[in-house]
Amino acid sequence: MMSDLPRELAEDVIIRLPMTSMRAVRSVCKEWNTLSKDSFFTKKHIAQAKAAAAEEFKVVMVMDFKVYLTNLNLHGIHKGVDPTISRQGKLISLDDSNQVDISRVYHCDGLVLCITKDLTRLVVWNPYWGQTLWVKPGRLHQSPNMYKYAIGYENSKSGRSYKILRHAESKSLVEYSIYELNSNSWRDVVDVTCDLYIHFYARGVSLKGNTYWFGVVKYQERISVEIHGFLICFDFTRERFGPRLRLPFIPYQEDTVTLSSVREEQLAVLFQRWDSLQMEIWVTVKIEPEVVLWNKVFLRVDMEPLTGFQFGVTEGSFFIDQDKKVAVVFDKDKDKDNDEVKTTPRRNTAYIIGEGGYFREVDLGETSEIHDCPLGCSYVPNSMLIKQRGKRKKNLIIY
């Protein structure tokens, strides 16, 4: 019987299993359930997972409104080994007849904030424990598609306090609200100003508990087709936006600009010109709410002969491997014979791009959604348990 195994042997068996197997492990027997929740074991298991991340990225992905935890393996790609992207698990509801459709995901310190397809409900998910918390949206004063979200934390003596930011801006109304996971409640934040316009589709990236966006100066300040674009940070400790942070390029209105995190320590920005299809990726040397320093360009590639199209302006997501000097960009299959997207793109696709003309496509599967591109955010495990308050009407699991 599994319960008869010595603790040392049981630990050696369990620690070799992927994080997505923990739910099954806990159901084997009482002893394994207790061991898997032991703080010493979880720290050791997470440390091992982080060490493995040097060879294999863990990515939370949304494809066709379903959420997956995936492995992205680039090991040996410069030695003739093809890259692989494999699914570890899928976020589903307990009742298979009541699937939960997710449109957006945001990651911070092992917690994943998911926004439902109808943009009215939120759920915080910890993939390590398979644990979730539904967040009551509270009262919305504007259309749901106007709201932007971010998840971050404030450091204190008692530990990290996790928060969700919700904000929207229109000509007549500006809203900023904070949800605190510890208190399970929303509150309005007053005297918050952001001197940049952040598009509703802009995907913020969390670093060190704060969130960064690409924003543009508001319309009344523009004097040409050039976009006066900057980075801007929301500081979750001060609950304030920082000053404009300069980018290492000047974008135009139809250019692609999207952000990504690098090991949760640096920020990367992908910039692709709409006319020449030249793509550049830059990485920060230093990034804080009020200061940014850029390294030399990480990667510069002419995408015209490789893809012949521009990556999505509104929903692009990407990752980089600094050691292997490659980028992975998620999009759909497109018509390479002209500049137009296929009328019915059929496949979700990952494009692996590197120096010296390195280029590969990885098929992520057939898609039923023509216009919605696959989205991804990096994932690093966290053993923090989400506090539960009251009974949950729904619970999500990963299998």
Q: How many CA atoms lie within 13 A of 74 on its CB side?
A: 24
Instruction: Tell me the two tokens of residue 350.
Output: 């990952």
Q: Which CATH number fits domain 1-46: 1.10.10.10, 3.40.50.2300, 1.20.1280.50, 3.30.930.10?
A: 1.20.1280.50
**Given this model, what pLDDT does residue 210 score?**
96
**Given this model, what pLDDT does residue 9 score?**
63
What's CA 336's distance to the chain center, in Å? 28
Specify the long-range contacts of residues 52-59, CB closer than 8 Å, at least 24 apart. 53/380, 57/319, 57/321, 57/378, 58/88, 58/378, 58/379, 58/380, 58/381, 59/85, 59/319, 59/376, 59/377, 59/378, 59/379
**Given this model, what pLDDT does residue 137 score?**
81
Rounded distance between C-alpha atoms, residue 41 and residue 70, angstroms: 23
Q: Where are the domains of the chain?
A: 1-46, 59-398
**Given this model, what pLDDT does residue 226 score?**
55
In one-letter notation, the amino acid at residue 196 is: L
Beta bridge partners of 98: none
The fold adopted by the segment(s) 59-398 is Neuraminidase (2.120.10)
**Given this model, what pLDDT does residue 282 score?**
97
**Given this model, what pLDDT does residue 12 score?**
60
| pLDDT, tens digit (0-9, with 9 covering 90-100), for 175-205 | 899 999 988 889 998 878 888 888 877 888 9
Counting as low any pLDDT under 50, the low residues of the chain are 1, 94-97, 220, 337-339, 341-342, 391-399
Any idea of the CA torsion for 390, 100, 104, 320, to the nearest 10 degrees? Answer: 110
